[in-house]
Each structure stands twice: as C-alpha cells, then as structure tokens.
C-alpha cells in the first residue's frame, strides 16, 4: 500500500520518509515544492516510488483525478513554517485551505491523515495543554494551524470516517534541517557558530530569567518520527496531541550540549557550563529590544494526552539528542 508524505523534502517530512525506509517501506509518493532545488539533498539517501509537485498534487486531489488507489496513509508535513512571514493570504491558502482540502479527500477515501500542527497555537501562554481556552496564537502562522485544529475538533465531534491526528510540534531539532537557514533550530545555529567562531552567543537576562536561562521544550526529530509512526501503527487513535518531551530545558543546556559534543569529537574534554562561560566559549549578549514583549521565555509540552493514547517510549533529553545530532552534522558537512 502507498504512503503519501507532503513536505517530503523538508525537515520533518524527509525524516519521516527515512523512517519509513528503515521499516522497509519504499512505496512512497513524495510531495513537495522544489523551487529551492537544494532541498533534494534531504531525499538523496531515501527510496521513494514517485515525486509530485505540491501544486500538481493538490490539483489532482481537488479535481478528484488522483490516479493512485490503495493509499495506506497521508503524512501531511508540507506548510510554510516561517513565523516571520506575515502574508496572511498566502499563509491561509498554503497552510489552512490546502490542508482542509486534503483532509476532505482523505475522509472521502477513508484514508488516515496525520498532519503537522504547532505549539505556536498557544501564543504567549504558560500552560501548554490541548484545550481551547489555552490557545491564542500571536501571528498568522500560528493562526493558520489553530484554525485547522478547530475544524478537526468539529469533525471529530461529528464523526470521522478514518483516523485524523494532529501533532503540535514544540522546538524540534535534528537531521535534515539545513535548508531552513534562519528558521533552523538553535542547535543547528550553535553548531555552526562554534565551528566558525569557537564560541556561541545566548541571550542575556530578561523577564525574570537569568543569562541563558530562558527555556524550551526541545524535542529531537528522531522522537518526532517515532511518534508519527506510532500513530500509523494505531489507526484507531485520533486526536490533537502535543509533541514535545514534557521537559523544559534552558538554552544554557543546549549550548553546552552542542559545544561539548563538538569538543568530544575533536578529542577534547567536555566542560561544565561554568567553565564554558569562564573561557568565553558561551557568551551572553543583551536581550534584543525588538523581541521584548514578543518572546516566549518558557515552553513545556503537557504530554499527558499523548501518554493516554498509548505512546510510552522515553524522549531524548538535550544531552543525548544533541550529541546524536552533532555526530550526524559532522558526518554530513
């Protein structure tokens, strides 16, 4: 049976394709927009059955001309994930309407639909649980994800013909994100800062948090793939789920993990955060005025609902997940 992955040449999509390959699954239709042709590198070591441009794919879906039968599932990872893109017309067409039309087709075809939502739906909230009253996005990207989640909730109340699962990704980092450039993870930027300059910069104190102490729920893309595939294996489970570790760690931890993974690879000794700061390998810069009042100082996924749905595996902490990522980066420079 065929599996469709949209955003297949992107960050999470290409990792899902690779994860399917590792299960021996190669009957995959990869959907993406390769206007930026260098994204092909994310699929160069993957095996797929066919590639479709995103515009041609949705045209076939909307006109009920899709020529393939026996679709096992659709992993819909394709979207504009640039939170600084304020073109609301584009964002709603690309992220909301495209996703809605694909959902309708999957429901008509009784095909499982697993899609990317985002923790951006919570805005500046301090409690990150899948409840409507806690959701207040701050930008049109977050709103595009939020609005589609509301549609899914309505459809679930009305009754579904097939599985629908939304994943609210928190701060994902890991392999195959290099094309994201400024929107790549902090771990990616720390790695390249250290390789280039021999030090990394972190924000200084702000909003009651000390130097480098602003915290995020950092989740490895390896864990993100495992959760996606868990729901592929359990098509009776539908819902909207936070996908983070349930653990918030400060940027200091991330910087130290990245630098120390690089040092160990160079045959050097890992250092404590205090030593890294004393040696000016970790440096603090003034908190930018442009971000004041617009910055999430803390995120931490409530993963109770995910656990209730039967996902029991442990998540990598920053030390282990970043170490694995740095090893991959060093092998794929």
Residue 68 among the catalytic residues: no
d(CA 43, CA 173): 18
Three-state SS at 74: strand
CB of 238 closer than 8 Å to CB of 165: yes
CB of 128 closer than 8 Å to CB of 300: yes
d(CA 271, CA 257): 10
Q: Of 141, 169, 173, 194, which residue is the catalytic one?
A: 141
Characterize the bridge pairing of strands 249-250 and 215-216. Answer: antiparallel
d(CA 90, CA 19): 31
d(CA 247, CA 58): 37
CB of 252 closer than 8 Å to CB of 216: no
- 284 strand-pairing partners: 202
d(CA 20, CA 47): 9
d(CA 105, CA 244): 29
Three-state SS at 257: helix
Burial class (CB in 10 A: 0-12, 13-18, 19+), 181: exposed
Q: Provide the sign of the torsion angle of the four alpha carbons 247, 250, 252, 255, taken in this order.
A: positive
Q: Of 51, 180, 284, 295, which residue is the catalytic one?
A: 180
CA dihedral 156, 158, 161, 162 (to 10 degrees): 0
Residue 141 among the catalytic residues: yes
Q: Which residues are catalytic?
A: 141, 180
């Amino acid at each position: 049976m065929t599996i469709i992955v949209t955003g297949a040449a992107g960050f999470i999509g290409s990792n899902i394709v690779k994860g399917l390959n590792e299960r021996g699954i190669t009957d995959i239709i990869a959907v993406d927009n390769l206007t930026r042709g260098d994204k092909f590198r994310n699929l160069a070591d993957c095996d797929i059955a066919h590639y479709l441009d995103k515009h041609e794919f949705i045209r076939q879906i909307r006109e009920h001309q899709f020529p393939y039968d026996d679709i096992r599932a659709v992993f819909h990872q394709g979207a504009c994930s640039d939170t600084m893109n304020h073109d609301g017309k584009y964002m709603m067409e690309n992220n909301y309407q495209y996703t809605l039309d694909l959902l309708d087709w999957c429901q008509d075809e009784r095909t499982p639909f697993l899609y990317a939502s985002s923790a951006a739906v919570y805005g500046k909230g301090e409690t990150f649980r899948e409840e409507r009253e806690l959701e207040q996005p701050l930008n049109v990207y977050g709103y595009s994800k939020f609005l589609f989640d509301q549609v899914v909730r309505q459809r679930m109340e009305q009754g579904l013909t097939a599985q629908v699962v939304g994943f609210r990704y928190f701060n994902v980092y890991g392999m195959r994100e290099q094309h994201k450039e400024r929107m790549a993870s902090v771990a990616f930027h720390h790695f390249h800062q250290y390789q280039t300059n021999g030090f990394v910069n972190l924000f200084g104190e702000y909003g009651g948090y000390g130097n480098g102490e602003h915290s995020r729920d950092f989740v490895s893309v390896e864990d993100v793939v495992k959760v996606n595939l868990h729901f592929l294996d359990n098509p009776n489970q539908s819902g909207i789920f936070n996908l983070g570790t349930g653990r918030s760690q400060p940027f200091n931890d991330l910087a130290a993990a990245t630098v120390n993974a690089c040092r160990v690879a160079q045959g050097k000794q890992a250092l404590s955060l205090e030593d890294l700061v004393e040696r000016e390998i970790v440096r603090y810069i003034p908190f930018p005025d442009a971000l004041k009042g617009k910055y999430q100082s803390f995120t931490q996924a409530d993963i109770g609902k995910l656990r209730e749905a039967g996902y029991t595996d442990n998540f990598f902490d920053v030390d282990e997940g970043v170490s694995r990522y740095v090893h991959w980066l060093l092998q794929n420079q």
